[in-house]
Amino acid sequence: MNNFLDGKSVLITGGTGSFGKKFVETVLKKYSPARLIIFSRDELKQFEMAQEFSPAKHDCLRYFIGDVRDKERLYRACRGVDYIVHAAAMKHVPASEYNPTEAIKTNIYGAQNIINVAADVGVENVVALSTDKAVAPVNLYGATKLASDKLFVAANAFATGPRYSVVRYGNVLGSRGSVVPFFIKKRDEGVLPITDSRMTRFWITLDEGIGMVLDAMENAFGGEIFIPRIPSMKITDLAKAIAPGCRLEEVGIRPGEKLHECMIPREEARNTVANGKGYIMLPDTGVYAYRGDVSSMTAVPEDFEYSSDMNDEWMSVSGLQALLKSQGFDV
């Protein structure tokens, strides 16, 4: 293992979320950072997380109260930091629709603050988390994440500064707000509400998502959007895997929701290459000159589109059950 984080200072925004907790656990197990800073705005979640990951046991840990909207606080938190993982976001779709200015402040202005502060204090590498909802967005959350992605890619045009890259993936198994705990809770009623029987989604585990981020932290040249090659699943198969004896009841697609998810639109195929791990969307040369070497990678076909309903790999009911069990769910 390449211990590239040993002796380094790492800051993760939104560090008390599902991704943040698992990221901290993984880094503590695999590396020996000088500092690992959990930056978030909820003191209760920080207190609860500190019971599991205690600074008394791990002297590299720092719990730092702050908001990505607050540029001055970011300056204080980021001094001496080598790597930033930007996971903070307002991501609840209905809440973002009802409070649009709040989503814009966190997801767009917060991203710009990260970019500028990282450049000013000499951070080495910044990796931002994205979502499949940033592709052809139909809700405000997706629109703000698309804007955020564009900001991080364009930031590499700075003459000097950090390497900025983006990691984009689909639904995370069992993350906060996931449909899995909802289905498990509802199965005792004998009926599972599903939005549409045709619906499909990409599927990834937290461990896989963290592996992608660590790979980007180590290897990104700057400007890439990294996208994994992951399976799709049908919402009806997920329901059968969790509650095989339940009746499924269609309730209709919610506002701002898609029937299928897309991570690479056909219009971006000309900028996309494939490697053994997945796909990399490269920045348009009109923005700035990309400094990476993709000579060993393969350009995707001009009509390529990476959508959950047109995937080559699918999770079966039995495969979903095995995966859920491996992640500790009672199915």
Q: 2 Cβ partners below 8 Å, 6+ apart?
A: 218
State the Cα–Cα distance between residues 292 and 296, nearest whole angstrom. Answer: 11
State the Cα–Cα distance between residues 182 and 56, nearest whole angstrom. Answer: 36
Q: Bridge partners of 62?
A: 37
Percent of the chain as helix, strand, coil, to the nearest 5:
40, 20, 40
Structure tokens at 81: 């930091």
Find the catalytic residue in 21, 91, 133, 234. Answer: 133
DSSP structure string for 153-208: HHGGGSSSS-EEEEE---EETT-TT-HHHHHHHHGGGTEEEES-TT-EEEEE-HHH
Q: For residues 217, 221, 224 and 228, what is the CA-based torsion angle, rounded to 10 degrees? A: -50
Fill in the DSSP letter of residue 23: H
Instruction: Dihedral sign for Cα 13, 15, 18, 23, please.
Output: positive
| Active site (annotated) includes residue 105 | no
Long-range CB contacts (within 8 A, 24+) of 184-190: 184/242, 184/243, 184/329, 184/330, 184/331, 186/243, 186/246, 187/242, 187/243, 187/246, 190/245, 190/246, 190/247
Active-site positions read: 133
